[in-house]
Amino acid sequence: MDLKFRVEADCGETEARLGRLQTTHGEVETPIFMPVGTQATVKALTPDELESLGAHIILGNTYHLAVRPGIDTVRTLGGMHEMAQWKRSILTDSGGFQVLSLAKLRKVNERGVQFRNHVNGHLLDLTPEHAIELQEAIGSDIMMCLDHLVQPGSPRREVEAAMDRTTRWAVRCLEARTRDDAALFAIVQGGTDFDLRSKHVADLTAHPFDGFAIGGLSVGESIPEMYATLAHTAPLLPKDKPRYLMGVGRPVDLLEGVARGVDMFDCVMPTRNARKGSLFVDGGRRKINLRNAKFREERGPLDPTCECYTCSRFSAGYLRHLLITKELLVYRLLSIHNLWVYLGLMRSIREALGSGQFSAFYQSWKAGLDSP
């Protein structure tokens, strides 16, 4: 697929860029944060709520949907767009992250990954070809190649071997693609080794992928290591194709990622943290724990500076009560707040890039952080 992507503005002092991405299901302005809908739903939220928050693209997970409800059921229900009633764009992970997160339940060889799935122990034979077949059945707008992600701190020879296997798998994914309405992104690996990252970029960009993801970060390395690896890798990628940083992260990480040249982000953090009562406030600069007793009789909002549905209508004390008593409504309300913060930060970043003020915005936003 000739994915339509163009850079509309860039920052002369950083690698940040403002872009526009056209998929089969609509236009996506970048930089963008993509809420995670692992099971074909962003937990607790309706499609209308996601749209009102400003989400233009969400994620689905190939491994999890292949396990439940099963890909035949997904096909019968019309794919993820139809069954979830989400009319905008969808990106799907290939299942590669589960190679790491479910390491005790799988075996990896050149052919692919064999999982004993975490639900009933049945075999899921995930080859590069099958990963594409599954994602095409889901109806992804943007598919990811199957990659081999190794444990953090693995010896260099293991990191390099997995990286080279990822290249071979990526080529097989490219050859297996049958739908011309779905883009395909390759995933750059190589740990925190700059030489390996450079080699992998060179290997992958020799093939006609529609975009590139930076994988294997935020998996145990230090924050400085992550930022340094990102600063080295992102500018090496083609300037005319979208760049996606997988599974990252905190609001400050999004800002730092944009400054290093990233266009797309995803992470479970805003919704997962919300369900635990961990809320981002002050535009994402600080985090509060709503379970703290100091909020018990708080009549004001979670965040006086926030204009989201939750903060506009409910007191922090009431929300804490819902959280402590495990009332279902609270998971919806707190998820709305955290996603408002994340998507609002990305809107502000795009506005700053569009007005030529990103560098000033970057410095001002970081100056308000609780800590470096």
Q: How distant, in Å, are the alpha carbons of 82, 230, 281 from that of 251?
A: 31, 16, 10
Note whether 327 and 247 are within 8 A (CB).
Answer: no
- pLDDT (tens digit, 9 = 90+) per residue, 86-117? 999 999 998 877 877 777 778 999 999 998 87
Q: Confidence band (pLDDT; 50, 70, 90) for 121?
A: confident
Say what the pLDDT of residue 371 is.
55
Task: Classify burial at 283, counting beta carbons within 10 Å of its beta carbon; exposed 0-12, middle 13-18, buried 19 or more.
Answer: middle
Query: Region 344-363: what's the mean pLDDT?
Result: 98
**What's the rounded Cα separation, in Å, for the pair 59 and 266?**
8
Query: Does residue 289 register a pLDDT over 90?
Result: yes
Note whether 325 and 313 are within 8 A (CB).
Answer: no
- Mutual angle of helices 251-259 and 223-233, in 10-degree steps: 30
**What's the rounded Cα separation, in Å, for the pair 116 and 139?**
25
Query: Does residue 141 register a pLDDT over 50?
Result: yes
Please provide the average confidence, as pLDDT, over all residues in the chain. 95
> Which among 2, 93, 125, 263 is annotated as catalytic?
93
**What's the rounded Cα separation, in Å, for the pair 193 and 74?**
39
Write down the number of H helices and E strands in the chain.
15, 16
Say what the pLDDT of residue 103 is.
74
Residue type, 7: V
Query: Region 325-345: what's the mean pLDDT?
Result: 98
**What's the rounded Cα separation, in Å, for the pair 22 and 138?**
19
Is 266 tagged catalytic? Answer: yes
Residue spans of the domains in the chain: they are 4-267, 272-366
User: Phi-psi bin for 295: left (phi > 0), alpha (psi -120 to 50), beta?
Assistant: alpha
- pLDDT (tens digit, 9 = 90+) per residue, 23-81? 999 999 999 999 999 999 999 999 999 999 999 999 999 999 999 999 999 999 999 99
Radius of gyration for the alpha carbons in the chain, expressed in angstroms and rounded: 20
* More confident position, 15 or 152: 15
Topology of domain 4-267, CATH: TIM Barrel (3.20.20)
Say what the pLDDT of residue 372 is.
45
Q: Confidence band (pLDDT; 50, 70, 90) for 124?
A: confident
Residue type, 329: L
Say what the pLDDT of residue 213 is.
98
DSSP annotation of 284: G
Q: What is the largest CA-CA distance in the chain?
A: 60
Nearest to 210, CA basis, from 235, 256, 179, 232: 179
> Which among 72, 266, 303, 370 is annotated as catalytic?
266
Q: How distant, in Å, are the alpha carbons of 27, 61, 121 from that of 104?
A: 40, 19, 12
Query: How much of the chain exceeds pLDDT 70, in percent?
Result: 98
Query: Does residue 1 register a pLDDT over 80?
Result: no
Half-sphere exposure in the Cβ direction for 169 (13 Å, CA): 33
Query: Region 125-154: what's the mean pLDDT?
Result: 95
Is 93 tagged catalytic? Answer: yes
